[in-house]
Amino acid sequence: MTTTFVGAVVQVLGEQLTLAAAQERRGIEGLRAAMLPAVPTPTVRQQIAVVLARQTKPLLATEVHGLIYDYFPDEVAVGVQDVRTLLEEGSEFVRVQRYRWQLGREVTPRLP
């Protein structure tokens, strides 16, 4: 009787492990289908956004320019004036202080 019981428990555990492994494979396949591929070469606008997203305070255009080369050393060189132009044109960037930029928008409470 004990041998039969142990055999049944081992069989049930084996079936559960098989089902769990199959579920894990399906989950991984689903994640692979949903993931977006990495951008092979980020645009300068994307580089600026990455630099600003990683900062805790607003930056000058020259600071953004310098950090682009820290984060993207293998990318094509870009001038400070190009960075300034993109900061001013981009709706995703906002000037929060004189000459200082951040990613996103300032949010103020709405008045009734």
pLDDT of residue 59: 95
Residue 46: count of CB within 10 angstroms of its CB? 13
Instruction: Give pTM, 2 decimals.
Output: 0.61
Query: pLDDT digits over 35-92, tens only?
Result: 877 768 889 999 999 999 999 999 999 999 999 999 998 888 899 999 999 999 988 9
Please give the structure tokens belonging to residue 50. 């990455």
Enclosing H/E stretch for 95: strand 93-97
What pLDDT band is residue 28 in, cutting at 50, 70 and 90? confident
Residues forming a β-bridge with 107? none
